[in-house]
Amino acid sequence: MRYIDIADPKRVDRSPNKIIRVLSDGTSIENGYKIKNVELRLYTEKNDKKLGSYSLITSLVETDKGSVEILRSLIFLDGK
């Protein structure tokens, strides 16, 4: 089962522009859940010439009982 904790899940209904793996093939156990993978995901939504790219950053946590993607930040990147 995959749960998306974002008000508008359509915003992440595509491949992310960038993925940073924080934990891969993990064996960490927390509150009875075996945590397999943790990723930070960057979804670029639009570009502004002055402010840079407007991006959505999420974290994806995959466990033995399912996964959840959670909104972390909305931010302009690469502004001049």
Instruction: Provide CB contacts within 8 A for 27, sequence distance 6+.
Output: 34
Please count the structural domains in the chain. 1
Say how far apart CA 57 and CA 67 lie, in whole Å: 17
The three-class DSSP label of residue 50 is: coil
User: What residue numbers bound the domain in which 48 lies?
Assistant: 2-77
- Report the predicted TM-score, pTM, of the whole model to 2 decimal places: 0.82
* pLDDT of the residue at 47: 86
Say how far apart CA 53 and CA 46 lie, in whole Å: 6
Say how far apart CA 55 and CA 67 lie, in whole Å: 22
Kindly tell me if the per-residue pLDDT of 3 is higher than 80. Answer: no
Over the stretch 25-70, which tens digit does the pLDDT of each residue have?
877 888 998 999 999 999 998 888 888 888 999 999 999 999 999 9
